Amino acid sequence: MQKKRRPEHIGSILKQLFQDQKWENNIEAALPLLRWQEIVGSQLARQTQPEFLKDGVLQVRVENSVWLNHLRFLAEELRQKLNEELPSLEIKELRFRQGTLDKVQSGRPSTGSHPTPDPEGDAGPRQPLSQEQRRLLETISDPELRHTLETLLTKQRQRSHR
């Protein structure tokens, strides 16, 4: 008979995941990516996608020129809101650039649920997750968190295989 495994705390699973991916130093920098829709709202999140945070500058991709122009007027308000929600990041500036959003991001309905990514619509070949990564993801009961982490892992593997 196989011994039952005890449930693991989500914090320890995430810590191990970030260590395995060598993301320890970038955990805080990933917060705007993970909490973007929650912080800016679903309408704005459908038109935008945070790309990275470096030296206090958050780069945000914007769906079209109309939204790009609109966001330039909202930049200071958004920066303040992000700093209220994520004070340890000390975001000094938001930079916007027009570009195509990832299908998962741009296709997200306002209900907050996440559609399944379309493999044919993704840029580049999909790199399958390792067995260990899949095992870790299976232990996460929250579907939204599991989906977000799976997306991040998949993108990381795509970047590392380029």
Judge whether 120 lies within some domain. Answer: yes
DSSP 36-100: HHHHH-HHHHHHEEEEEEETTEEEEEESSHHHHHHHHHHHHHHHHHHHHH-GGG---EEEEEE-P
Judge whether 61 lies within some domain. Answer: yes
Judge whether 1 lies within some domain. Answer: no
Task: Calculate the average pLDDT of the chain.
Answer: 76
Judge whether 77 lies within some domain. Answer: yes
The predicted model gives 58-77 an average pLDDT of: 93
Domain count, the chain: 1
Judge whether 85 lies within some domain. Answer: yes
Judge whether 2 lies within some domain. Answer: no
Q: What is the pTM of this model?
A: 0.52
pLDDT of 78 reads: 95
Q: Which domain holds residue 76?
A: 10-160
Judge whether 134 lies within some domain. Answer: yes
Judge whether 92 lies within some domain. Answer: yes
